[in-house]
């Protein structure tokens, strides 16, 4: 287990992440599929390969269901958001991949 303290995002950052997540959760099931996650990343100007998407999902998917739930999404991107106020700031998601 890691000795790192959990990353704490402010309410504004969480609300922004929730809005982003919901906008790409096409079927409103509370999770992102590989296709939905790919669409999210492409909207940020990234061009992930299928292998990169699979690796990212494996990294984020703590319950091993092959999907990324909101809490897993937050855990994936939160460490990159600490110095930033917006998930759109320079390379945030890129460094997560």
- Specify if 46 maps to a domain: yes
> What is the model's pTM?
0.73
Say whether pLDDT at 64 is over 50: yes
The pLDDT tens digits of the residues spanning 42-55 come to 998 999 999 999 99
Residue 37: partners with Cβ closer than 8 Å, 6 or more residues away: 24, 53, 56, 57, 68
- The CATH number covering residue 25 comes to 1.10.238.10
β-pairing, 68-69 vs 31-32, is: antiparallel
- Average pLDDT rounded to a whole number, residues 51-80: 92
- Specify if 4 maps to a domain: no
Nearest CA among 66, 70, 90 for reference residue 80: 90
Q: How far apart are CA 51 and CA 4, in angstroms?
A: 28
- Specify if 7 maps to a domain: no
Number of compact structural domains in the chain: 1
């Amino acid at each position: 287990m890691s000795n790192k303290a959990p990353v704490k995002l402010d309410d504004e950052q969480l609300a922004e992440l929730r809005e982003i997540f919901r906008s790409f959760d096409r079927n409103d099931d509370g999770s992102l599929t590989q296709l939905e996650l790919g669409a999210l990343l492409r909207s940020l100007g990234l061009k992930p390969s299928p292998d990169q998407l699979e690796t990212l999902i494996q990294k984020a998917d703590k319950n091993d269901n092959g999907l990324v739930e909101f809490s897993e999404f937050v855990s994936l991107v939160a460490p990159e958001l600490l110095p930033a106020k917006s998930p759109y700031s320079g390379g945030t998601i890129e460094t997560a991949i």
